[in-house]
């Protein structure tokens, strides 16, 4: 398939459409067909904002979101509609994301009918086939979200996104609310479907164990910027950026789950007013005088491995 496929460049600051968004600055992130890119960082670093940019739910205040080579903002209404369908976001909170007054058949089947993917008369069979693919029976069709467990609701959310037959799936902390064992089951099924369907995926998580499990390539975000990017195996074997090293040191990898980044000292500053120079300098054990003044740029330090740290300049 032709590249670049999906590419996000640019920035977004402040508030958009009455919701608070975390600033994203000078980001370039490319996702190739069929590829899973993991985006990791502490909560509040701008990951979700970047995910919403990628899904076309937010417009960048600078830069562009390219979908199959075309600028999302410059597309015709028709092309934009097609792109919206092709870019599906699985939301952070499956509990809040499902309308409690709608039956599952409608939750999953309404948008495909509205977008003309299927006829109304095909809805029931179509939804049942997607339910089967996420491991749920046809008995789910007539039930409401509150009648399901958290793991089942996550599966319904996945089926809803997949029923739009997307090409790029954006998963924002899609399993974070679930128990660890349920999380593993849902993740395994999601990634099996991703491979079967040949979907590209932007997988957003604060959890390195989850990111490691799913990603072909990983981007590490700190205060609205990508500070390191590499193939997953390379990143975990030889992390370059002190922030990535801190994340890895803080994350036990034996089991997925919520954890805090204890190996990194200090609080995450506001992405709207990041420290000067390298934004990580107040927390970095290797900070030098120039780190307070000069912002490091992403540089290739090995094939396909990029890092933004002055230590690489020596």
Beta carbon of residue 306, minimum distance to Mg ion (angstroms, whole number) = 23
Residue 141 touches which member of Mg ion, ligand SF4, none, C-beta under 5-8 Å by kind:
none
Please identify, using beta-carbon distances, which residue of 213 and 281 lies nearer to ligand SF4: 281
Beta carbon of residue 239, minimum distance to ligand SF4 (angstroms, whole number) = 12
Which range in 5-13, 48-56, 107-115, 232-240 contacts Mg ion by CB under 5 A? Answer: 48-56
Rounded CA separation 237/298 (Å): 19
Question: Which residue among 67, 126, 203, 280 contacts ligand SF4 (CB under 6 A)?
Answer: 280
Beta carbon of residue 218, minimum distance to ligand SF4 (angstroms, whole number) = 17
Rounded CA separation 21/28 (Å): 18
Rounded CA separation 120/113 (Å): 6
Beta carbon of residue 247, minimum distance to ligand SF4 (angstroms, whole number) = 12
Q: How far apart are the first and last CA of the chain?
A: 39
Contact 159, 133 (CB under 8 A): yes
DSSP SS3 for 292: helix
Please identify, using beta-carbon distances, which residue of 48 and 183 lies nearer to Mg ion: 48
Contact 6, 30 (CB under 8 A): yes
Tokens representing 174 are: 């899609």
Question: Which residue among 85, 160, 212, 310 contacts ligand SF4 (CB under 6 A)?
Answer: 310
DSSP SS3 for 245: helix
- Residue 52, sorted as left (phi over 0), alpha (psi -120 to 50) or beta, turns out to be alpha
Say whether residue 286 binds ligand SF4 (CB under 6 A).
Answer: yes
- Residue 166, sorted as left (phi over 0), alpha (psi -120 to 50) or beta, turns out to be beta
231 closest CA partner among 243, 219, 222: 219
- How many Cα atoms sit within 13 Å of 83 on the Cβ side? 23
Tokens representing 215 are: 């990603």
Beta carbon of residue 222, minimum distance to ligand SF4 (angstroms, whole number) = 9
Beta carbon of residue 42, minimum distance to Mg ion (angstroms, whole number) = 10
List binders of ligand SF4 among 209-248 (CB under 6 A): 241-242
Residue 48 touches which member of Mg ion, ligand SF4, none, C-beta under 5-8 Å by kind:
Mg ion
Q: How many residues bind Mg ion, per CB under 5 A?
A: 1
Contact 222, 150 (CB under 8 A): no
Residue 187 touches which member of Mg ion, ligand SF4, none, C-beta under 5-8 Å by kind:
none
Contact 303, 229 (CB under 8 A): no
Question: Which residue among 21, 37, 45, 48 contacts Mg ion (CB under 5 A)?
Answer: 48
Rounded CA separation 56/70 (Å): 12
Question: Which residue among 44, 287, 301, 305 contacts ligand SF4 (CB under 6 A)?
Answer: 287
Beta carbon of residue 219, minimum distance to ligand SF4 (angstroms, whole number) = 16
Question: Which residue among 148, 281, 298, 306 contacts ligand SF4 (CB under 6 A)?
Answer: 281
Question: What is the binding site for Mg ion (CB under 5 A)?
Answer: 48
Q: Which residues bind ligand SF4 (CB under 6 A)?
A: 241-242, 278, 280-281, 284, 286-288, 291, 296, 309-311
């Amino acid at each position: 398939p032709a590249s670049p496929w999906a590419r996000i460049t640019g920035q977004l600051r402040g508030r958009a459409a009455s919701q608070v968004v975390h600033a994203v600055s000078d980001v370039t992130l490319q996702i190739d067909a069929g590829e899973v890119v993991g985006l990791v960082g502490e909560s509040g670093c701008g990951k979700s904002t970047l995910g919403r940019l990628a899904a076309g739910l937010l417009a960048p205040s600078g830069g562009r979101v390219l979908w199959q080579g075309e600028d999302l903002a410059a597309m015709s209404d028709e092309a934009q509609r097609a792109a919206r369908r092709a870019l599906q976001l699985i939301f952070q909170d499956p509990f809040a994301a499902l309308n409690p007054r709608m039956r599952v058949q409608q939750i999953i089947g309404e948008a495909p009918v509205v977008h003309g993917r299927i006829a109304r008369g095909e809805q029931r069979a179509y939804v049942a086939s997607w339910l089967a693919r996420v491991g749920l029976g046809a008995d789910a069709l007539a039930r409401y979200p509150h009648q399901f467990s958290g793991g089942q609701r996550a599966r319904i959310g996945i089926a809803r996104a997949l029923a739009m037959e997307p090409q790029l799936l954006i998963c924002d902390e899609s399993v974070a609310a679930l128990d660890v064992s349920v999380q593993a089951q849902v993740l395994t099924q999601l990634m099996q479907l991703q491979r079967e369907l040949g979907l590209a995926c932007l997988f957003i998580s604060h959890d390195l164990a989850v990111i490691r499990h799913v990603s072909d390539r990983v981007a590490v975000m700190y205060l609205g910027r990508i500070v390191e990017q590499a193939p997953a195996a390379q990143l975990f074997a030889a992390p370059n950026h002190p922030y990535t090293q801190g994340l890895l040191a803080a994350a036990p990898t034996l089991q997925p789950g919520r954890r805090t980044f204890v190996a990194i000292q200090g609080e995450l500053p506001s992405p709207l007013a990041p420290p000067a120079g390298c934004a990580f300098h107040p927390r970095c054990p290797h900070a030098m005088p120039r780190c307070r003044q000069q912002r490091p740029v992403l540089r290739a330090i090995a094939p396909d491995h990029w890092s933004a740290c002055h230590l690489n300049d020596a």
